[in-house]
């Protein structure tokens, strides 16, 4: 899992470094900006835009260990019935089991967004 706070902190650090490399406003207004200054301005604007986008994302915590244990016990060894898993005894999962497990965790990822 990517830690959103660490990503934002890294972006802030890079923005701080770039800020000192940006041209002053009078250079921009007069069209006297150099290629490196233009490049740094573009980088700054892109990072700032990305940081603002990250601020719109909601972070949801998922206990993956619990999710895995619940899924396995409910679908392979538990009393709940999901499709062909009813009254299943302990055995190696087959291709269909793996596909259903993958689908479950894919859907979990969609729900956590």
Question: pLDDT by residue (tens digit) across 14-64?
Answer: 999 999 888 887 777 788 888 888 888 889 999 999 999 988 887 777 777
Q: What is the pLDDT of residue 76?
A: 61
Q: Which residues, in sequence order, are CB contacts of 51 under 8 Å at separation 6+?
A: 8, 11, 12, 15
> What whole-number percentage of the chain has pLDDT above 90?
19
Flag whether pLDDT at 81 surpasses 70: no
Q: Cβ distance 83 to 54 under 8 Å?
A: no
Residue 83 confidence (pLDDT) above 60: no
pTM more than 0.75: no
């Amino acid at each position: 899992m990517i830690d959103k706070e660490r990503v934002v902190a890294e972006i802030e650090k890079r923005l701080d470094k770039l800020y000192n490399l940006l041209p002053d406003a009078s250079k921009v207004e007069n069209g006297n900006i150099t290629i490196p200054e233009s490049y740094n301005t573009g980088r700054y604007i892109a990072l700032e835009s990305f940081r603002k986008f990250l601020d719109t994302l909601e972070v949801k915590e998922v206990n993956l260990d619990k999710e895995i244990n619940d899924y396995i016990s409910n679908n392979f060894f538990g009393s709940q019935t999901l499709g062909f898993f009813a009254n299943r005894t302990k055995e190696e999962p087959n291709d269909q089991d793996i596909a259903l497990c993958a689908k479950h965790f894919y859907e979990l990822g969609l729900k956590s967004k």
